């Protein structure tokens, strides 16, 4: 039996421990502060949100300004390459500058800033071409013809009473669909065109008119304007598509750049349609008709054609007279515009009365007849000439709108060929790969010519020519044509790089020489001349001795001996013949160029021009050659 006293003690101990344990685990209550007196609550204003950061709106990009800036950058790159002599690179940069404007999706004609940039590019590049820098596959060889209107504007002739009396008698019998007036102003220009100074100008114009008269009369008739407006072209340009005035007007109808664009005449790196006879004639007819509708008078329309409709409109509003002769007397028109209408009337009266003015025996040129071939690839005019056995000069005459030796790189072009040669061209060009039609050439084999001769002439190799033409034995037959594969500066299948002589030719630079002109004379790249002589840029100091390594073909017999030939100087800009040179007479064959002839006789293009005073060749011409 358990002891009840022990059990009570045990129970009491457990209870004590339990109480202690409960007290140690119980959280003590916090002391309670006495209640505060009631007070009005304090209102704390809400924290304001952080201020919004005003983000600047993205600047609006002016698409016109962006296109102009990009085009200008390409143009400046072209100028830099041009001045450094990198003509191919310059051509590419200029081409890209035009493309940026024309393919921007913006209306170039409708935006003054874009039009100004476009005109700047056109005129800037054309100005580069007015200097003698040129490249065979790029820059134009066109020679502008001074516009006759410039000279006529400068002359002053007295009124000859006898000439006026005769003209008045003739005028009564003269029929014209334009009003013809004879007064002192018109008589002065009849006197000028009757003089020894002006008569030749009139004769040449009337002779040349035969080439285009049929076309011009047809276009004027289609556009519904007077036929005798043809004499405006006679006075302006003498019917010369390459006529260029001092003010920059171009072509047979002397369009300024801005006016040409507004009537759809294209101007770019490749073509200037102001120089296309038919397209420019149609644009001129439309423009004259618009001016007549504006002023209601053909004399005022002609005056506005010369100085712009705004000038004539301002003169009419200033005086209140819509009459050309009244504006003339009041002196409110520019001097050239006051002369313009009398010049045209004088030319019209004289052309319609040839016997009266000693013009009855003139034989107008035959109308131009052509075959038209639509092409959509670029082709070198020299290759075209070789395809159809004609001259480059003839092709340039038929295609005066072409500014370069090649047709446009992009888009279609209507190539005009001599009559009866269209099919012949299509057949011959089919043998040349499309991508090589600005490089490869055709060569007609001359009597006694060897494969080595041909390879040397074109700075290529015998093996390349033999491979393309599938020549097995290397024998050539006179009059046969060879395809000449040329890829300047590149290697292609079967074509080796041009090699150069081991010993240099020493040449002393003369006044007016440039790196490009010397390179052209020697037939070597300008970059080579710079490398050989540690030159930069295009300028040469007169008297500087240049080391020039003539191009060889490497494998041809005699290359070693040719490399050893050296001379102290050669004909260049001053064009002195070498001592001991032998005189050779060469009859120009169809398709030959100054460069091909110069290469054949180991002379220079400049020397040929100097000794023969020619810039373009005609088949059958006989050249004097001072062969070393």
The residues assigned a catalytic role are 236
Residue with tokens 């204003």: 45
SS (H, E, C) 438-480: CCCEEEECCCCCCHHHHHHHCCCCHHHHHHHHCCCCCCCCCCC
DSSP letter for 193, please: H
Q: How many CB atoms within 10 Å of residue 493? A: 9
Max distance between CA atoms of the chain, in angstroms, equals: 180
Taking only Cα atoms into account, the Rg of the chain, rounded to an integer number of angstroms, comes to 41
Determine whether 443 is exposed, middle or buried from the number of CB atoms within 10 Å of its CB (0-12, 13-18, 19+).
buried
Place of tokens 């008589």: 187
Rounded Cα–Cα distance for residues 73 and 365 (Å): 47
Return the closest-CA partner of residue 230 out of 191, 271, 182, 178. 178
DSSP alpha helix (H) spans, 380-436:
381-388, 392-398, 422-429
Report the distance separating Cα 304 and Cα 324, nearest Å: 10
582 forms beta bridges with: 627
Nearest CA among 67, 365, 383, 346 for reference residue 184 = 346
Q: Is 500 in a helix, a strand, or coil?
A: strand
Phi/psi region, residue 407 (left: phi>0; alpha: psi -120 to 50; beta: rest), is beta
Tokens 């698409």: give the residue.
63
Torsion angle, alpha carbons of 498, 503, 509, 510, to 10: -100
Cβ pair 249, 256 in contact under 8 A: yes
Alpha-helix residue ranges (DSSP H) falling in 479-585: 515-522, 526-533, 559-563
* Burial label, 170 (beta-carbon count in 10 A; 0-12, 13-18, 19+): middle
- What's CA 281's distance to the chain center, in Å? 21
CA 194, CA 198: separation in Å to the nearest integer?
A: 6
Q: Which residues contact 64 (CB under 8 A, 6 or more apart)?
A: 106, 111, 113, 114
What span, in angstroms and rounded, lies between the C-alpha atoms of 98 and 70? 11
254/153 Cα distance (integer angstroms): 15
Q: What angle do CA 399, 259, 242 make, to 5 degrees?
A: 30
Instruction: Give Cβ neighbours of residue 492 (< 8 Å, ≥ 6 apart).
Output: 485
């Amino acid at each position: 039996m358990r002891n009840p006293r022990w059990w009570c003690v045990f129970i009491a101990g457990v209870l004590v421990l339990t109480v202690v344990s409960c007290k140690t685990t119980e959280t003590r209550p916090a002391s309670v502060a006495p209640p505060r007196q009631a007070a009005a609550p304090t209102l704390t204003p809400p924290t304001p949100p952080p201020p919004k950061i005003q983000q600047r709106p993205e600047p609006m990009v002016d698409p016109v300004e962006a296109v102009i800036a990009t085009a200008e950058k390409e143009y400046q790159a072209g100028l830099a390459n041009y001045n450094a002599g990198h003509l191919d690179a310059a051509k590419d940069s200029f081409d890209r500058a035009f493309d940026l404007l024309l393919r921007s999706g913006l209306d170039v004609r409708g935006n003054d800033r874009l039009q100004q940039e476009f005109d700047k590019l056109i005129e800037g590049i054309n100005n580069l071409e007015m200097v003698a820098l040129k490249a065979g596959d790029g820059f134009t060889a066109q020679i502008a013809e001074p516009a006759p209107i410039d000279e006529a504007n400068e002359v002053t002739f007295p009124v000859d009473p006898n000439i006026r009396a005769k003209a008045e008698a003739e005028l009564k019998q003269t029929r014209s669909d334009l009003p013809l007036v004879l007064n002192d102003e018109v008589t002065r220009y009849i006197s000028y065109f009757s003089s020894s100074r002006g008569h030749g100008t009139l004769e040449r114009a009337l002779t040349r008119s035969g080439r285009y008269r049929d076309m011009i009369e047809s276009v004027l008739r289609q556009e519904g304007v007077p036929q005798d407006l043809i004499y405006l072209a006679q006075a302006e340009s003498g019917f010369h598509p390459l006529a260029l005035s001092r003010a920059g007007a171009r072509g047979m109808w002397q369009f300024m750049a801005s006016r040409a664009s507004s009537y759809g005449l294209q101007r770019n790196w490749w073509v200037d349609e102001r120089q296309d006879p038919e397209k420019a004639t149609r644009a001129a007819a439309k423009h004259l008709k618009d001016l007549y509708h504006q002023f209601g008078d053909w004399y005022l329309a002609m005056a506005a054609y010369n100085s712009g409709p705004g000038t004539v409109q301002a003169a009419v509003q200033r005086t209140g007279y819509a009459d050309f002769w009244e504006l003339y007397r009041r002196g409110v028109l520019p001097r050239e515009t006051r002369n313009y209408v009398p010049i045209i009337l004088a030319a019209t009266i004289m052309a319609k009365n040839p016997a009266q003015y000693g013009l009855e025996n003139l034989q107008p040129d035959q109308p131009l007849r052509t075959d038209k071939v639509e092409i959509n690839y670029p082709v070198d005019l020299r290759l075209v000439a070789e395809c159809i056995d004609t001259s480059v000069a003839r092709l340039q005459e038929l295609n005066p709108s072409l500014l370069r030796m090649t047709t446009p790189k992009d888009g279609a072009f209507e190539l005009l060929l001599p009559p009866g040669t269209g099919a012949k061209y299509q057949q011959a060009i089919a043998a040349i790969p499309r991508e090589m039609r600005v490089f490869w050439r055709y060569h007609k084999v001359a009597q006694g010519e060897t494969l080595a001769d041909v390879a040397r002439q074109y700075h290529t190799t015998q093996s390349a020519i033999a491979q393309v033409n599938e020549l097995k034995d290397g024998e050539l037959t006179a009059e046969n044509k060879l395809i000449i594969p040329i890829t300047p500066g590149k290697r292609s299948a079967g074509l080796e790089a041009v090699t150069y002589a081991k010993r240099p030719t020493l040449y002393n630079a003369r006044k007016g020489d440039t790196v490009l002109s010397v390179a052209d004379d020697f037939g070597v790249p300008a970059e080579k001349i710079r490398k050989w002589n540690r030159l930069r840029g295009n300028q040469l100091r007169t008297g500087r001795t240049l080391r020039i390594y003539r191009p060889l073909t490497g494998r041809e017999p005699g290359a070693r001996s040719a490399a050893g030939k050296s001379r102290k100087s050669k004909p260049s800009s001053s064009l002195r013949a070498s001592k001991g040179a032998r005189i050779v007479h060469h009859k120009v064959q169809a398709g030959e160029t100054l460069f091909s002839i110069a290469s054949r006789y180991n002379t220079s293009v400049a020397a040929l021009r100097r000794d023969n005073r020619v810039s373009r060749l005609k088949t059958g011409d006989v050249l004097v050659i001072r062969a070393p």
